Structure 1
């Protein structure tokens, strides 16, 4: 019996290696339904309840304050961040351009109504903190400035 290499086994190994490499990439290929991130991973989020308020903490490393949008409508808090980067490098007759874009989005339903006028958001060292004081019901939505 001759010992031949199985080409299908080699292809299977190649796909396994490629799959592991894609899983290790920081930007991933995961798309989630329901307003979650379409490209990249959904940002990590914590929701804490205190006596007088709810506090939402979201990890958004690599974004600038102006890249982040926070909106509250009823009990739904929508957080999104969008960043584009570009660089140019000239070498003799060549022009090289490399660009990347990263967008993430996350929605969360707050357990009870909050005082929309008292909501605040801060962004420090890649962490967004949204403070939502508890309140009586309101039908208006509100755009929240990130400080």
Structure 2
């Protein structure tokens, strides 16, 4: 038998294993979510929408970073929450930290944003008529909450947080 035939046989077995594994995972998720769907189906105004997603980006250190979002956590036994975790991007700029969240289906008056006393923990919650969001995230640096600004347009929440001035930066001197 040639190496190609060996590889082809191995690949067929691997593909069969992956297909069986996918079927088992789908069945397990269905079995887990079915009682919850039946229970929520009786509640008025609640939707039976379950979603999970992830985003993979490359960090500044060259290592991949995985960010999860949604209202289902698939690891181990799936955990379903009535609050969805919105897809979130955090950008650190020279003087600010910008946080962008996808939160469709809520009004701006339903959104609550707070920063913990440590100045590094941001908590965003929103409760609409049929959707709820919650996200707690650690910011890359301490921010000045008193100067923060937030806008909400077309389902996208943008929060601009000025970095807290640290005495270690020194004073800039203009050269004449």
| Fold conserved between structures, TM > 0.5 | yes
User: Equivalent of 2:143, from 93, 114, 125?
Assistant: 114
The residue that corresponds to 2:5 in the other structure is: none
CA separation in 1, counterparts of 2:107 and 2:126? 9
Check if 1:19 corresponds to 2:19: no
| Corresponding residue for residue 104 of structure 2 | 61
Match in the other structure for 1:102 = 131
Aligned partners of 2:112 and 2:124 also within 8 Å? yes
Higher RCO structure, 1 or 2 (CA under 8 Å, sep 6+): 1
Q: Equivalent residues in 2 for 1:36-115 (5 A)?
A: 38-73=81-116, 74-84=119-129, 101-115=130-144
CA RMSD, Structure 1 to Structure 2 (Å): 3.3
What is the CA deviation profile of residues 5-60 of structure 1, one whole-angstrom value per residue up to 9, with x for unaligned ones? xxxxxxx99x84x829x6xx63456269xxxx831531100000111100000000
The structure that is strand-richer by fraction is 1
TM score, norm. by length of structure 1: 0.58
Q: Which runs of 5+ in 2 are unaligned?
A: 1-22, 34-47, 52-70, 75-79, 167-176
Could you list the structure 1 runs, at least 4 aligned residues long, displaced by more than 2 angstroms after superposition: 25-32
Structure 2 residue 170 is the aligned partner of structure 1 residue 127:
no
Q: TM-score, normalised by structure 2?
A: 0.50
CA-CA distance at 1:128 after TM superposition? 0.2
Per the alignment, in what secondary structure is the counterpart of residue 77 of structure 1? strand
Cα separation, 1, equivalents of 2:142 and 2:84: 28
Over 3 Å counting, the alpha-carbon distance change for 1:68 and 1:27 in structure 2 is farther
> Does the 8 A contact of 1:31 with 1:39 survive in 2?
no
Report if aligned partners of 1:63, 1:83 keep a CA contact under 8 Å in 2.
yes
| Runs (5+) with no aligned partner, structure 1 | 1-11, 85-100, 138-147
